[in-house]
Structure 1
Amino acid sequence: MTTTEAAAAQELLTGWRPTGRDRFVVTARWPHDHPAYPSADGVHDPLLLAETVRQAITLLCREAYDVPPAHDQLWDHFVYAVEPAALTTTAPTTMAPPTTAPTTTALTTTALTTPTPTTPTPTTTALAPAARTSDPLPTQVELHIGCADITRRRGRLTGLTTHVAVIRDGVLLGGAEAAFTIRPALTTVGADNTGIATDRTPSMALMEAARRAAQQAAHPHGGLLSGMAVEFLLLADPDAPCAIDTEVTPHIWEPDGRLQIRVTARQHGQLVFAATATAEVTSVELLLAS
């Protein structure tokens, strides 16, 4: 697979449109065979939601806020939560039928890598990633995004906070909040470059590490990680090892059953990352775990 094909395989976004001042809808599709976050046992990987939000933020920075390509996102915090039942690769029968799709204006995939001129009052800008032959029925989702705490310097965007509701077939699937600052790219640090679909970004690599550590800590009682609250405290060095620590706290009074797992990462003796992950388990498993 070429570099271009690898990037196309990770693209999740299919279109976007403004819906008001600093408010947008971004559409995406979740393949079952995503190279980094494949589905398992008929359930989508929850980190697909996080990666979709990351790509959507990058897209809006470029297309709606005119951030040049050679800039990094320095994440401050990221929180997501999903409804486990809504992560099935086939839509649950209780979900409402999809609403009528808006009119779209087709663009090529160059919109993912090259800023395009703003068109007057666009309805929806469609992004057309490469066709998938092994995944004919990906899950269609919408991200309803509101941007707040917007900061600028000399007219250029330098930071914002996004509030995201993820909708599937007219039903709320989950939500997320992300806060970050933006600065010109530096090649010597582990920030997220504004490429929409990349092999790995430091923030997502840390979240993947936290997910693996949380699942290992919760084993054999832990199940799906339905939520994660993350603080990015220092820039992580992508070429240096991280020391990962976990702590599990069972919440046996919750009828649905959950485990809270605290995950921290240190580099060179300094705390660079802290997360609290939520693992869905049964009440019986919690009682046995305690």
Structure 2
Amino acid sequence: MLTTPERHLIEKPGLTTTVPREYVHRAALSEVFLTGWEKSGSDAFTISAQWPRSHSFYTPGHDMHDPMLLCETIRQCGMLLSHTEYDLPLGYQICWSRLQYTLNPHAMRVGTKPAELILHVTCSDIRTVRSVPTSMVMHIEAVRDGSLLAVASIGFNNYSPAVYERLRAGRTDAARISESAPMPPDPVSLGVAGRQRRRDIVLSPTQERWRWQLRVDTAHPVLFDHPLDHTPGMLLLEAIRQAGHALKPSWGALMPTSMDVSFNRYVEFDAPCWIEAERVPPDSGGARRSVRVNGLQGGTFAFTATTEMTDMASV
């Protein structure tokens, strides 16, 4: 005869929820994609995640999940483990220095149910001050249904509130700075950006063919899930994707199947940031094309990036 505790385990299966939103710096529960984590070795961890079949901003195309969904998942992994496994206090700022990923487009297809991912994370180059991590690199292998979906790495620095205040020279009042940001300029066309909604376009046209002004809408419900004092990294990644498409819209629907981005400085709201793109030779003219994208503000490179754009019709 079963005891009461054993009946309880059989009758009530384990329930799944997201990780606390505070650990991934999100205000909306709907924007939290991680569902759990556990330690698997020395500085090694396993994280579970779920992607919805549809999303208001990370919109599927050609029945494929949006690669920016992968980037947001990577971002959340870095924040989750920093807080939960390396004792980074809440309230510290986590700022990217570099992000790289390469994905398997065949593993990105939207199925008949939400995509379940397992992310194997190894942390390295960990630097600490008084047992608090100040920087690290995370290497990630993302697996879906037993198949490798992507490999990625992300490097970032962590700043205490006091250090961040000095670093930002008084630009830390996120609510005030966000509210006082200039109105975004008119966007490029939907076809040029490769987006379905005007609000999701982050490029504005200029007089130069392959140069755009970064379009920052601080009221965007996903890119600005909460007030920020500078342009978020996910918006910059979206600008890289859109610039890769805008370089030559006649290429068709394109997916950024890889990126390598170095972040050099914060992108502020109160000065224009220029996005420039060019093809990286040699261009074979096949289903994949390499593109270089730079972001310039105040005469310096805020970020530099290369991305491989893949024709989604070829997948």
Q: TM-score range by the shorter chain?
A: 0.7 to 0.9
Residues 81 and 198 (structure 1), Cα distance of their counterparts in 2 relative to 1, 3 Å cut: same
Q: Do residues 24 (structure 1) and 55 (structure 2) align?
A: no
Please give the residue correspondences for 1:116-127 in structure 2 after superposition, counting only pairs within 5 Å: none
CA distance in structure 2 between the partners assigned to 1:37 and 1:59 by the alignment: 21
Larger RCO: 1 or 2 (CA < 8 Å, sep 6+): 1
Please give the residue correspondences for 1:190-269 in structure 2 after superposition, counting only pairs within 5 Å: 199=225, 202-221=232-251, 223-249=254-280, 251-253=282-284, 257-269=287-299
Q: Contact 1:14–1:28 at 8 Å: present in 2 too?
A: yes
Q: Contact 1:218–1:261 at 8 Å: present in 2 too?
A: no
Letter in structure 2 aligned against 1:47: M
Q: Do residues 70 (structure 1) and 100 (structure 2) align?
A: no
CA distance in structure 2 between the partners assigned to 1:245 and 1:190 by the alignment: 30
Letter in structure 2 aligned against 1:70: G
Counterpart of 1:8 in structure 2 is 29
Following TM superposition, by how much is the alpha carbon of 1:36 offset from its aligned partner in structure 2, in angstroms? 2.6
Please give the residue correspondences for 1:152-191 in structure 2 after superposition, counting only pairs within 5 Å: 152-185=128-161, 186=164, 188=171
Letter in structure 2 aligned against 1:209: A
Letter in structure 2 aligned against 1:89: V
Q: Contact 1:67–1:156 at 8 Å: present in 2 too?
A: yes
Counterpart of 2:123 in structure 1 is 147
Letter in structure 1 aligned against 2:138: T
Counterpart of 1:131 in structure 2 is none
1:34-62 deviation line (CA, Å, top 9, x unaligned): 23312123110001111001001101011
Letter in structure 1 aligned against 2:271: A
SS at the partner of 1:220?
helix
Structure 1 unpaired stretches of 5+: 92-136, 192-196, 285-290
Following TM superposition, by how much is the alpha carbon of 1:175 offset from its aligned partner in structure 2, in angstroms? 1.0
1:246-285 deviation line (CA, Å, top 9, x unaligned): 001354458x632111111111111101110101139x9x
Residues 246 and 189 (structure 1), Cα distance of their counterparts in 2 relative to 1, 3 Å cut: farther
Aligned length: 231
CA distance in structure 2 between the partners assigned to 1:63 and 1:281 by the alignment: 39
**Alignment root-mean-square deviation, CA:** 2.8
Structure 2 unpaired stretches of 5+: 1-21, 166-170, 175-222
1:148-169 deviation line (CA, Å, top 9, x unaligned): 0000011111110010000001
Letter in structure 1 aligned against 2:95: L
Greater Rg by CA: 2
Runs of at least 4 residues off by over 2 Å = 32-36, 238-241, 249-254
CA distance in structure 1 between the partners assigned to 2:97 and 2:38 by the alignment: 26
Indicate the structure with greater helix content. 2
Give me the TM-score of the superposition, normalised by structure 1: 0.73
